[in-house]
Amino acid sequence: MPIATVNPANGETLKTYEPMGEEEVERRLQLAQATFRTYRTTVFADRARWLSKAADLLDEDRQEIGRVMTVEMGKPIKQSRAEAAKCAKAMRWYAERAERLLADEEPAETDVRDSGASRVRVRYRPLGPVLAVMPWNFPLWQVVRFAAPALMAGNVGLLKHASSVPQTALYLEDLFHRAGFAEGCFQTLLVGSAAVDGILRDERVMAATLTGSEPAGRAVATTAGEMIKKTVLELGGSDPYIVMPSADLDRAAEVAVTARVQNTGQSCIAAKRFIVHTDVHDAFAERFVEGMEALKVGDPLQEDTEVGPLASEQGRTDLEELVDDAKRSGAEVLCGGARPDGPGWYYPPTVLTGVTRQMRVHREEAFGPVATLYRAGDLDEALLIANDTPFGLSSNVWTRDTDEVERFAEDLEAGAVYVNGMTASHPAFPFGGVKRSGYGRELSGHGIREFCNITTVWQGA
């Protein structure tokens, strides 16, 4: 795959880049290793000052980098600017809290005495250079939610970004350098996917994080396992959105539209499977379809656009194949369901009903504005449908019944349960999944400790 900016709104190639050769990759690996030796000794106050400066610069650059993201992967421009603002917020969150989150911990005095020690401390020390293999769908956020905690912990980062967002990738390296971080603290590697295996095998790379597809996660996990290296994986999702009879139906349907089409539906945590109790199914379906049909699809650079093009031609083809397979197998299309004429990789907001377990769209992630609608007879059936997926990233539940809330919180197989609201990542809360959605956690105190050497310091009497 070439490293290039291709505008998904019209298919025009705007900028191409030559992949870095072996010599340049080697130079950057050497620089990362050398920089880590000194960067790991910096104090939290300096790291926080640099990260806060990066947040300030990102705020200043919001218009410009927002346009770059939109042109590179098709995100509606308002969402691009919001993504930049979210990244700045996360940077400040970690700048303000990292020292406390990584402070030494002292076990209970009784346990210390029982071990025969006069003092025991648990320390969080950085690992070293961490390789981040990142996707195109949130080209700033996916990187920053790794980079902010990793840099505050004293690690250095090596970014292998998606080949379709090279300008965003290079911007990130420049951003951290302008903010005051040493040159080797955060480096972008403009290389293709084939180069990842060799880089991960290099003894100077201490760990890796990947957000992306299940096959990519499996490849990275396999290599990391062979090399005995820590990994964090955030892979696909096919999140359920459950609506029970006590829900605020108007609000649930309104939020459902946004939850399905955020980032043109190209989000791992977008709600994809809408499971509605039979008592309110028809009323919800009417509202939901009406909302999906009313969305403004068009040029992502226009301020009023709500749904832009898919990021790639292949992405649209994959989505079409899922929908066509469902239609051939008897699913009913309530809206959308066919690509429009004209340039660009557009696909309309689509709702399918009558989906069965034999259809591919039931088992596979629909990465685009396609929703599947299910009818559930009761809470148990809703749970059965919700958990009938290889994924387990997040989930959404709409109910005002406290007993139902507790049941869903206990039995949904997912890394998060959002009640009466839409799944969203926030720097204060751990983020990640179970089953084929990956392992490990990003964000919060859990995320910053993922790439730390958790060290016991035992002192005798």
pLDDT in tens, 155-195: 999 999 999 999 999 999 999 999 999 999 999 999 999 99
* Model confidence at 455: pLDDT above 90: yes
Please say if 268 is a catalytic residue: yes
β-strands 271-277, 239-243 pairing = parallel
pLDDT at 99: 98
Q: Give the Cβ contact number of residue 55 at 10 Å.
A: 24
pLDDT in tens, 363-376: 999 999 999 999 99
Catalytic residue among 72, 83, 234, 442: 234
pLDDT at 86: 98
pLDDT band at 361 (very low <50, low <70, confident <90, very high): very high
pLDDT in tens, 233-282: 999 999 999 999 999 999 999 999 999 999 999 999 999 999 999 999 99
Residue 298, SS3 per DSSP: coil
Catalytic residue among 87, 185, 268, 452: 268
Per the CB < 8 A criterion, the answer to whether 61 and 88 are in contact is: no
pLDDT at 2: 84
Provide mean pLDDT across the span 429-453.
Answer: 98
Any residues with CB less than 8 A from the CB of 68 and at least 6 apart, and which? 167, 168, 171
Count CA atoms closer than 13 A to 422's CA, side-chain side: 19
Q: Give the Cβ contact number of residue 78 at 10 Å.
A: 16
Q: What angle, 0 to 180 degrees and rounded to 10, lies between the N-to-C axes of helices 166-178 and 44-60?
A: 130
Which one-letter DSSP state was computed for residue 417? -
The long-range contacts involving 423-430, CB below 8 angstroms and separated by at least 24 positions, are 423/239, 423/259, 423/269, 423/270, 423/271, 423/394, 423/395, 423/396, 424/269, 425/141, 425/145, 425/269, 427/89, 427/90, 427/93, 427/94, 427/145, 427/148, 428/93
* Model confidence at 46: pLDDT above 80: yes
* Model confidence at 1: pLDDT above 80: no
pLDDT in tens, 6-16: 999 999 999 99
Per the CB < 8 A criterion, the answer to whether 203 and 226 are in contact is: no
Q: Where are the beta strands (DSSP E) in 249-358?
A: 271-277, 332-335, 350-353
pLDDT band at 461 (very low <50, low <70, confident <90, very high): confident
Provide mean pLDDT across the span 124-145.
Answer: 98
Please say if 26 is a catalytic residue: no
pLDDT at 183: 95
Verdict on whether the full-model pTM lies above 0.95: yes
* Model confidence at 386: pLDDT above 80: yes
Provide mean pLDDT across the span 342-357.
Answer: 97
- The Cα 358–Cα 362 span in angstroms is 7
Burial class of residue 301 (count of CB atoms within 10 Å of its CB; 0-12, 13-18, 19+):
middle
Structure tokens at 195: 């180069």
Average pLDDT over the chain reads 98
- The Cα 33–Cα 39 span in angstroms is 10
Among 199, 133, 193, which Cα is nearest to 160's? 133
